[in-house]
Chains A and B, each alone.
Chain A
Amino acid sequence: NAGVMQNPRHLVRRRGQEARLRCSPMKGHSHVYWYRQLPEEGLKFMVYLQKENIIDESGMPKERFSAEFPKEGPSILRIQQVVRGDSAAYFCASSLKREVYEQYFGPGTRLTVT
C-alpha cells in the first residue's frame, strides 16, 4: 500500500519562473492538505482540498500561489513568479475522511529558488 507520493523531491527554479509541485494521496484518500516548512521552522498550513473543491485556503498567500485537486490525477500546488522567500519544503498530507483526524504525510518537495 503506497503512501503519499510527492514529486519532484527536489526542485530548483530561478527567480521569476513557475514551480509545480505534485502530490498523489494514499489510495482511497480523497482529502489533501498542503503545508510549507520554512528553514528551521515548523510546518504551516496552506490549503485543504477535496476532489475538485478547495475547502480551506486560509493559509495560502494571496498572490502567485494556487492549488487544485482534479477529479483525475494528483493535486498540484503551483507557484508563479517564484522569489527567494519561496524556498522551503512543501509537504502534502492526505486523509481518508474529513472526520478522521489522521493525516499521513508525503516526503516533501524541497524547492530552492536561485
Chain B
Amino acid sequence: GEDVEQSLFLSVREGDSSVINCTYTDSSSTYLYWYKQEPGAGLQLLTYIFSNMDMKQDQRLTVLLNKKDKHLSLRIADTQTGDSAIYFCAESTTGGGNKLTFGTGTQLKVEL
C-alpha cells in the first residue's frame, strides 16, 4: 500500500540550513515532490524529482533521493523567516494515475 511519512515539526535559526525528511513505502513511485503550504493558503509546488535521479538542486533547495531506503529529503540553505510553512512530501506512481499521495506535512519554524 501507499504510505508517506514525515516528522511533524522542525525548528531552525535564521541563516541555518533546514533538512526535512520523508519516507515512503511504494517502490513503484515514479515522481516525488515537495510542496509548501503557508497559513491559509494552497499548496505551492517547490520541486520534484524523477525516481531515477539521486539529487536535484534548484537555488537554495536541494533534494536527495535514496531509492534503496525509500528516503527523500529537502534541504533549504540559508533558511529565512519567509520559509516558515508546512512542507509536504508527495509521490505519484505510474500505475496510480496522476493522483498524489501526501505525507502529513512538516511544520518548519524559523526563529530569529
- Residues of A at under 8 Å CB distance from B? 4, 6, 31, 33, 35, 41-45, 48, 55-56, 58-59, 91, 93, 95, 98, 101-108
Contact = CB atoms under 8 A, between A and B. Distances in A.
B48 A45 contact: no
Interface of B: 4, 30-31, 35, 41-45, 48, 88, 90, 92, 97-105
Given A41-B104, A42-B105, A43-B88, A98 B43 contact: no
A31 B42 contact: no
B14 to A, nearest CB: 26
B45 A104 contact: yes
Nearest to B41: A107
A15 B70 CA distance: 43
Contacts of B30: 101
A102 B103 contact: no
Contacts of A95: 98
Q: Which 5 pairs across A and B sit closest by C-beta, in order of nearness? A: A42-B102, A105-B43, A45-B99, A107-B42, A101-B31
A48 B88 CA distance: 20
11 contacts: A6-B42, A42-B105, A43-B88, A48-B98, A55-B97, A56-B99, A91-B42, A93-B43, A102-B48, A105-B43, A105-B45
Given A93-B100, A103-B98, 19 more contacts: A31-B98, A33-B98, A33-B99, A33-B100, A43-B88, A43-B90, A45-B100, A48-B97, A48-B99, A56-B97, A95-B98, A101-B31, A101-B48, A103-B100, A104-B45, A105-B44, A105-B45, A107-B42, A108-B41
Contacts of A6: 42
B102 A43 contact: yes
A91 B103 CA distance: 16
A106 B104 contact: no
Given A101-B48, A102-B48, A43 B43 contact: yes
Interface-central residue, B44, B100, B101, by most chain A CB under 10 Å: B100
